[in-house]
Structure 1
Amino acid sequence: MKRNSTLSLRDRTVLVTGAGSGIGAATSRALVTAGANVVLVDIHSDPLHKLATELGPQSLPVVADVTDRTVVDAAAAAAVTRFGSLDICFANAGIAASKPTTIRNSSEHEFERILEVDLLGVWRTVRSCLPEIAKVNGHILVTSSVYAFVNGIGNALYAMAKAGVESFGRSLRGELAGTGTTAGVLYPGWVDTPIISASHEQHSASQELIQLGFPGALRTPITAERLAEAVVRGIENRSPRIICPRRWIPVSATRGVVNVITDAVIDRHRQMQSLLRQLDR
């Protein structure tokens, strides 16, 4: 079957995980503006229902933890019951460490919880939604990160999960090729949401590492609303990848070279090594 070139969002139903705040909330608003129905999935009830009240009858709030396959299945079923179909899935729920940390000094519980939410939560969401989406030749979008292709020092827990999401999303798109159903990977740079406050605002060593490791244009956060606009365009175009802001595209395209160089710099950079020892303590 030939793949559709575009996907109109008018009267389509989109399931969004992590919808209660940040990227998920901003994207849900943009999707409703584009004419879609949204199934808002989040573990936090209060912001979820507040957003549903704001968005009105085009939305359905479902309180669910993406680490529980049973409740994610129920969310997908609720989408079909309420709106008649499930056309698009935005597997976006994610968390980061409560503070920057090294692998040696990380909490075992927190490490495994991040993998459960950020990686296995994506897997569970896609598995729950894919049967319905395949019926209508819809689209699946999974949220990775620019951390999938840059060195994750001080944030390895998150980077490891997001690299896994990238590999999963690319494989999924390849496996769906020719069926009419499509998939894509979202790579946000730093976005001005609560998830980055620990690294950008609350920890001086992490701030210094970011300043040493990234040019100013790359380390400047963008708004969630700007990212949401890119997500809507990407879904409509069935894009295989959405990198936002676009200034990260050359880094992704040349990652083979960039990774060798940056890894070598870290090997020799005494100031960065000193800051990492601070995180160890």
Structure 2
Amino acid sequence: MTYDLNSKVVLITGAAGGIGAATARELYARGASLVLTDLQQSAVDHLAQEFDAERVLPLALDVTDADATKAVVRKTIERFERLDVAFANAGISWRGTPGTIMGCDEQEFEHIVEVDLFGVWRTIRAALPEVVRNEGQILVTSSVYSFLNGVANAPYAASKAAVEMLTRSLQVELGGSRATASVVYPGWTATAIAKVAFGGNELATRMNETALPNFLRRPIQPEQMAKAIVMGIESRSTRIIAPGHWAPISLLRGMFNAVTDWTLRRDERFQGLLRKLETQQPGQS
């Protein structure tokens, strides 16, 4: 049966821009009430102005803070008396120049994992009891990076692979209930995180162009991803992936990974760009 979003309450982390904001708009159009969270109160307040004040609760949240995350869930229940869907979408990548494992800043590497993996874990943990009580849904933003080599973006890619497994584990654990969990796999999406590989950094852009064929590098707009996410919620899909050409690659990831890893290790042009990138890292200065 279709999951009716009308009058449901949806919590979104990382809601102020990109996929989070686009999904909020789609959910609101389906009749959902929204709890919008992001690092800056001003950012979620700005987004909340698009919606009826009675159906939106904007709250600042740092997902690395477990107590603050639990407090957001409590405030959600105080305001709306329920929480039906939790969308763990907050994520970050390199602040500037992409980094290799040997050359990157250690603290930045660990902070990315803290947000992208443990922030997701804290969101799930805080929201899960109420979501289960209401037979609702947990959604987690993973990435095609969960089955794509994470060269020069290892903390982000490793975290996205980890949250995929975290959510798959949750899917099975929820098998005895009427609640469900979904993994969201955005392909290249025109957001701030992806910008670095699409002209934001010359070397990263050239590496992207060398590693992937054009049809896999064509970014989609956040609105397209949001429509796929909302359709996935309505059908309780366990896997939400867009654009669709990534789906067969995910299914054939064992073969795809073996071939692409072998190729990138031996591609002289790609390795030359990688070595040049590494010389720009703080660990190599």
Superposed CA deviations along residues 175-215 of structure 1, whole A, max 9, x for unmatched, are: 10131010010000111111112221221111111111111
Q: Distance in 2 between matches of 1:270 and 1:20?
A: 40
Secondary structure, counterpart of 1:10 in structure 2: coil
Q: Which residue of 2 aligns with 1:240?
A: 238
Match of 1:49 in 2: 45
Which ranges of 4 or more aligned residues in structure 1 deviate by more than 3 Å? none
Number of the residue aligned with 1:89: 86
Where do 5+ consecutive residues of structure 2 fail to align?
A: 280-285
Superposition deviation, residue 174 in structure 1:
0.8
Q: How many angstroms apart in 2 are the aligned matches of 1:186 and 1:237?
A: 13
Aligned residues of 1:139 and 1:183 also touching (Cα < 8 A): yes
- 3-state SS of 2:36 partner: strand
Q: Work out the CA distance in 2 between the residues paired with 1:196 and 1:258.
A: 22
TM-score w.r.t. the length of structure 1 is 0.97
Q: 1:84-123, aligned counterparts within 5 Å?
A: 84-98=81-95, 99-123=97-121
Deviations 1:63-88 (A, max 9, x none): 11000011111111111111121000
Maintained 8 Å contact 1:89/1:126: yes
Q: 2:198 aligns with which of 174, 197, 200?
A: 200
State the 1:266 CA deviation.
1.2
Q: Give the aligned partner of residue 278 of structure 1.
A: 276
SS at match of 1:55: coil
Checking the alignment, whether the CA contact within 8 Å between 1:76 and 1:129 is kept in structure 2 is yes
Q: CA deviation at 1:7?
A: 1.4
Instruction: Give the TM-score, by structure 2 length.
Output: 0.95
Partner secondary structure for residue 246 of structure 1: coil
- Secondary structure in 2 aligned to 1:243? strand
Q: How many residue pairs are counted as aligned between the two chains?
A: 277
Equivalent position of 1:175 in the other structure: 173
Asked if residue 143 in structure 1 is aligned to residue 141 in structure 2, the reply is: yes
Distance in 2 (alpha carbons) for counterparts of 1:242 and 1:34: 18
Secondary structure class of the residue paired with 2:86: strand
Write the deviation string for residues 134-180 of structure 1: whole angstroms up to 9, x where unpaired. Answer: 11110000000000001011111110110001000100001101310
Distance 1:194 1:267 in 2: 28
Retained in 2: the 8 A contact 1:100–1:199?
no
Aligned to 1:68: 65
**What displacement does 1:252 show?**
0.4
Partner Cα distance (1:191, 1:247) in 2: 14
The answer to whether 1:14 aligns with 2:14 is no
CA RMSD across the alignment: 0.9
> What letter is aligned with 2:80?
F
